A and B are shown apart, each in its own frame.
Chain A
């Protein structure tokens, strides 16, 4: 059994309620931080823990906190990013739904560390029921004296609000989130300035993912050093993974970073192997925006070692042979899955969600989707694969925010690793007429048709 630090108490009956949560030792980190530590000491512990942001990019949380501008004299804010819209990622919702007080405890301790007196949880509109759970939990915490004026008689004040977005993926991008929170259209801002200098209402602001903030209480209770002992190398601690697709046991798991992909995929404690015992075709380890891995790159890295569930191991060798841990949306495909259809589906999503502010993303995502749609529907042309490659390469790196990269990486990886499937779609349009063309006849059975001669 891996160590659990976030979901340790998840099975305690009634843990959603304040009484049970408190009885189980909840809010101890707030007490410890406010009574026995200075804000800088809390930041120092988080730095020592090596905790990396769990929202996707994996930036060290303690370092991000230390960038916050304390000299300006302006009010500071902590904003929790609970927008969670990456296809394949659904871990934050689980945490907030079943352990709302853990997030609120994390928010208070972290806000104290940052010297923030006004903090927000920005939650996606589709999570209305979770929004209500959080509202209730905040009211309970406030009634118990953990929020409001003069917390624990220390002179520290904190207001905490939940804000419901209208349901836009782009509002998960931290600067778009801030715009949206300010009541404007959710367009990403041009950086610099970074939020740590000028964020919400031009005040110094830290935006952190739900899981990142929920990890803080354990760190404060047990010390950063203890946290750093969990995991491997620069991938410290535990990580929530939301697994979906063709596996026996999809769901949200807390793993210790450093677990092998093999064990996570195949042991009964976790995913329990492939659904219907069909062959594994591909894997997306970190949510739809990260590159897909073909079967032969899933369990081993380029130098033949076991591939681990860590930031480093999953990105081994760059995008040609690796992927990313991202937000931990673990999507598994068996041999009935059509990579072209899947790529089209993702493209459709990014096209729909592009804010439309900058040219390469606005025009490029639409173009990608249209070409992929044609290929998937038997209207592909020979030159379309090169065209897709060219379009995605022109979006990547040239946009205001990383949504452009998120739209281009899945296409690049699909072509890189599954080019033959694209060729098959283009050359045998009559064979892909059936929507589930690979269910009766997996690609492995028709592969010889395209590998004999290349187009």
Chain B
């Protein structure tokens, strides 16, 4: 099947969604996605960030679709033409979804553990406005303890329901889900239970914002001060791949996560034992530094790029400057015959 996104044509297999096709093309046409997660069945369709304009339905039925479509759950049709970044309607819709997501969001990035890895930060950077039109009081939730491993900060949650899908698909004895409705809807346990099963930690990886964070890592470090390495170990937990990223500060492993692709989606899920219990370097076979896309905040501290050495010659520079300053201040060596452009006063020129 042939589809065209922002004028770029690509061949895809039947069953490919518009979002997947856009990801194959890459670049600026890739719609933002907050609730879709390639590794979770039935994800997507909820956040409405990825809306695109279908300017031509297909070769068989070329009519444009009247509404914007959620690209993550809309299948490609042969001959489909899609506008993503090229459409004003789409841009406006993404701006409004961003605005909606931010009205009740606490925006506590300076103290949030997700800062630097947060999809909402990226979304706001791309589509947010600097001014808010929301003057009402933000809605807040009472803190809830959901157990020893994971910190829930409900005020930051955007109800993408990825964590619920993790619980549905990866864990047994699911105890958490969405309670209530509308903007009071919240992620919680039923009722006041601890989330305790071998794969629950994956909820942290799939959470696009800082609503679910790792209790063993909270407040230890900003992520961009950590150096991520791919690592693995022989894990005996059934279903765990044992392949992780370990986040080092000096020689200390501060955090262990699943390995993620460029859309921040894990390659395979890992068990809690790998994630929470193995923090010694000797627990792991370190494969090498993990690479991130160019503009990731994590690259701030990147050591995988080749760096040019810059010679500053501090001492020399200071001394030189001082000499010139001295000259100016003392006025001793000022040549009064010299004009401001360096010409002699009585030159013939």
A-B interaction? yes
Chain A residues with CB under 8 Å of chain B are 168, 170, 185, 190, 351-360, 362-367, 370-371, 374, 387, 390, 394, 397-400
Decide: A363 near B46, CB < 8 A? Known: A190-B73, A370-B136: no
Q: Is the CB of B182 within 8 A of A356?
A: yes
Q: Is the CB of A397 within 8 A of B48?
A: no
Given the complex of chains A and B, what is the CA–CA distance between A390 and B184 in angstroms?
23
10 contacts between A and B (CB under 8 A): A353-B182, A355-B182, A359-B97, A360-B100, A366-B182, A374-B136, A390-B133, A398-B96, A399-B48, A400-B48
Q: Is the CB of B184 within 8 A of A359?
A: no
Q: Is the CB of A362 within 8 A of B182?
A: yes
Which one, A185, A190, A397, contacts B178 given CB within 8 A? A185
Q: Is the CB of A363 within 8 A of B47?
A: no
Decide: A387 near B183, CB < 8 A? Known: A357-B159, A398-B48, A400-B46: no
Q: Is the CB of B73 within 8 A of A354?
A: no
Question: Which chain B residue lies CB-closest to A362?
Answer: B183
B18: Cβ under 8 A from any A Cβ: no
Question: Which chain A residue lies CB-closest to B134?
Answer: A367
Which one, A190, A352, A360, contacts B182 given CB within 8 A? A352
Q: Which of chain B's residues have a CB closer than 8 A to the CB of A387? A: 133
Chain B, range 57-87, C-beta contacts under 8 Å to A: 67-68, 70, 73
Q: Which of chain A's residues have a CB closer than 8 A to the CB of B70? A: 190
Q: Which of chain A's residues have a CB closer than 8 A to the CB of B51? A: 398
Q: Which of chain A's residues have a CB closer than 8 A to the CB of B159? A: 356-357, 359, 362
What is the minimal beta-carbon distance from A242 to any residue of chain B, in angstroms? Answer: 25
Q: Is the CB of A354 within 8 A of B181?
A: yes
Q: Which of chain A's residues have a CB closer than 8 A to the CB of B46? A: 357-359, 400
Which one, B67, B158, B181, contacts A355 given CB within 8 A? B181
B197: Cβ under 8 A from any A Cβ: no
Chain B, range 135-164, C-beta contacts under 8 Å to A: 136, 139, 158-159, 161
Q: Which of chain B's residues have a CB closer than 8 A to the CB of A399? A: 48
Q: Is the CB of B103 within 8 A of A356?
A: no
Q: Which of chain B's residues have a CB closer than 8 A to the CB of A352? A: 181-182
What is the minimal beta-carbon distance from B31 to any residue of chain A, in angstroms? Answer: 14
**Interface size, chain B (Cβ < 8 Å):** 34
Q: Which of chain A's residues have a CB closer than 8 A to the CB of B280? A: none
Chain B, range 94-120, C-beta contacts under 8 Å to A: 96-97, 99-101, 103-104
What is the minimal beta-carbon distance from A407 to any residue of chain B, in angstroms? Answer: 10
Chain B residues with CB under 8 Å of chain A are 44-49, 51, 67-68, 70, 73, 93, 96-97, 99-101, 103-104, 133-134, 136, 139, 158-159, 161, 177-178, 180-185
Which one, B47, B103, B104, contacts A358 given CB within 8 A? B47
Q: Which of chain B's residues have a CB closer than 8 A to the CB of A185? A: 177-178
Q: Which of chain A's residues have a CB closer than 8 A to the CB of B181? A: 168, 170, 352-356
Decide: A400 near B182, CB < 8 A? Known: A362-B159, A363-B100, A387-B133: no
Q: Which of chain B's residues have a CB closer than 8 A to the CB of A366? A: 104, 139, 182-183
Q: Which of chain A's residues have a CB closer than 8 A to the CB of B134? A: 367
Q: Is the CB of A360 within 8 A of B96?
A: yes
Given the complex of chains A and B, what is the CA–CA distance between A363 and B158 in angstroms?
10
What is the minimal beta-carbon distance from A350 to any residue of chain B, in angstroms? Answer: 9
Which one, A353, A358, A367, contacts B48 given CB within 8 A? A358
Question: Which chain B residue lies CB-closest to A364?
Answer: B100
Which one, B73, B97, B136, B178, contacts A356 given CB within 8 A? B178
Given the complex of chains A and B, what is the CA–CA distance between A371 and B135 in angstroms?
9
Given the complex of chains A and B, what is the CA–CA distance between A367 and B101 in angstroms?
12
What is the minimal beta-carbon distance from B129 to any residue of chain A, in angstroms? Answer: 12
Given the complex of chains A and B, what is the CA–CA distance between A16 and B24 in angstroms?
63
Q: Which 4 pairs show the lowest CB-CB distances between chains A and B?
A: A356-B185, A394-B96, A363-B100, A366-B183
Q: Is the CB of A351 within 8 A of B48?
A: no
What is the minimal beta-carbon distance from B80 to any residue of chain A, in angstroms? Answer: 15
What is the minimal beta-carbon distance from A396 to any residue of chain B, in angstroms? Answer: 9
Given the complex of chains A and B, what is the CA–CA distance between A366 and B184 in angstroms?
9
Q: Which of chain A's residues have a CB closer than 8 A to the CB of B48? A: 358-360, 398-400
Instruction: Count chain A CB atoms within 10 A of each CB in B104, B161, B185 and give the residue with the most.
Output: B185
Q: Is the CB of B68 within 8 A of A359?
A: no
Q: Which of chain A's residues have a CB closer than 8 A to the CB of B104? A: 363, 366
Decide: A362 near B103, CB < 8 A? Known: A356-B180, A357-B46: no
Instruction: Count chain B CB atoms within 10 A of each CB in A355, A363, A366, A399 and give the residue with the most.
Output: A363
Question: Which chain B residue lies CB-closest to A404?
Answer: B48
Given the complex of chains A and B, what is the CA–CA distance between A394 and B94 in angstroms?
10
Q: Which of chain B's residues have a CB closer than 8 A to the CB of A374? A: 136
Q: Is the CB of B182 within 8 A of A365?
A: yes
Given the complex of chains A and B, what is the CA–CA distance between A352 and B47 in angstroms?
19
Which one, A357, A371, A394, contacts B100 given CB within 8 A? A394
Q: Is the CB of A351 within 8 A of B97?
A: no
Q: Which of chain B's residues have a CB closer than 8 A to the CB of A397? A: 67-68
15 additional contacts (CB under 8 A) given A358-B45, A359-B46, A363-B104: A352-B181, A353-B182, A355-B182, A355-B185, A356-B178, A356-B180, A357-B161, A359-B100, A359-B101, A362-B100, A362-B182, A362-B183, A365-B183, A398-B67, A399-B48
What is the minimal beta-carbon distance from B35 to any residue of chain A, in angstroms? Answer: 9
Given the complex of chains A and B, what is the CA–CA distance between A356 and B44 in angstroms?
14
Q: Is the CB of A359 within 8 A of B158?
A: yes
Given the complex of chains A and B, what is the CA–CA distance between A356 and B49 in angstroms?
15
What is the minimal beta-carbon distance from B110 to any residue of chain A, in angstroms? Answer: 23
Given the complex of chains A and B, what is the CA–CA distance between A353 and B181 in angstroms?
7
Q: Which of chain A's residues have a CB closer than 8 A to the CB of B67? A: 397-398
Q: Which of chain B's residues have a CB closer than 8 A to the CB of A358? A: 45-48
Decide: A398 near B178, CB < 8 A? Known: A360-B48, A364-B100, A387-B133: no
Question: Which chain A residue lies CB-closest to B101?
Answer: A359
Given the complex of chains A and B, what is the CA–CA distance between A366 and B134 in angstroms?
11
What is the minimal beta-carbon distance from B173 to any residue of chain A, in angstroms? Answer: 18
What is the minimal beta-carbon distance from A96 to any residue of chain B, in angstroms? Answer: 26
Q: Which of chain A's residues have a CB closer than 8 A to the CB of B103? A: 363, 367
Given the complex of chains A and B, what is the CA–CA distance between A422 and B173 in angstroms?
52
Given the complex of chains A and B, what is the CA–CA distance between A399 and B48 in angstroms?
7
What is the minimal beta-carbon distance from B184 to any residue of chain A, in angstroms? Answer: 7
Question: Which chain A residue lies CB-closest to B182?
Answer: A354
Given the complex of chains A and B, what is the CA–CA distance between A394 and B161 in angstroms?
22
Decide: A190 near B100, CB < 8 A? Known: A168-B181, A367-B134: no
Q: Which of chain B's residues have a CB closer than 8 A to the CB of A398? A: 48, 51, 67-68, 93, 96-97
Decide: A356 near B184, CB < 8 A? Known: A190-B70, A394-B100, A398-B51: yes
What is the minimal beta-carbon distance from A124 to any residue of chain B, in angstroms? Answer: 15
Question: Which chain A residue lies CB-closest to B100?
Answer: A363
Q: Is the CB of B185 within 8 A of A362?
A: yes
Q: Which of chain A's residues have a CB closer than 8 A to the CB of B45? A: 190, 358, 400
Which one, A170, A190, A356, contacts B183 given CB within 8 A? A356
Q: Which of chain B's residues have a CB closer than 8 A to the CB of A390? A: 133
Q: Which of chain B's residues have a CB closer than 8 A to the CB of A168? A: 181
What is the minimal beta-carbon distance from A424 to any residue of chain B, in angstroms? Answer: 21
What is the minimal beta-carbon distance from A372 to any residue of chain B, in angstroms? Answer: 11
